[in-house]
Amino acid sequence: QSALTQPRSVSGSPGQSVTISCTGTSSDVGGYNYVSWYQHHPGKAPKLMIYDVNKRPSGVPARFSGSESGNTASLTISGLQTEDEADYYCCSYAGSYTWVFGGGTKLTVL
């Protein structure tokens, strides 16, 4: 049950795009198409942004997109807005009804 690997921080200017990577193993990210991404503003409830690697729940802007290659998943945010500044976490199903999160990435919108 080792945490998935994410960069500690990323940054971008308004209007730019950023990509956050999430590296796991064949026992989690690479083994299942069940990667999800969460946006977390401190003091608030985490919010589901992407599920099933690349699907967006209703209400999540199309600026948010997900992808996966092998054991690495990625979240791309296009057209950055100031309100996108938050912590982002990837999460993967890891079999036997267990899940594993990434260490989190702090997104700064400059």
Partner 1 sequence: QVHLVESGGGVVQPGGSLRLSCAASGFTFSNYGMHWVRQAPGKGLEWMASIRYDGSNKYYADSVKGRFTISRDNSKNTLYLQMNSLRAEDTAVYYCAKEGANRDLDYWGQGTLVTVSS
Q: Taking the complex as a whole, how short is the minimal distance between the CB of residue 2 and partner 1, in angstroms?
A: 10
Which of 1, 9, 42, 43 is closest to 25 using CA atoms?
A: 1
Distance between start and end Cα atoms, the chain? 34
SS3 33: coil
For binding to partner 1 (CB under 8 A), which residues are involved? 1, 3, 32, 34, 36, 38, 40, 44-48, 51-52, 55, 57, 87, 89, 91, 93, 96-104
Which lies closer to partner 1 via its Cβ, residue 17 or residue 99? 99
Q: Taking the complex as a whole, how short is the minimal distance between the CB of residue 103 and partner 1, in angstroms?
A: 5
Which lies closer to partner 1 via its Cβ, residue 15 or residue 25? 25
How remote is the C-alpha of 86 from its chain's centroid?
11
Q: What is the Cα–Cα distance from 19 to 102, expressed in whole angstroms?
A: 15
Which lies closer to partner 1 via its Cβ, residue 3 or residue 110? 3
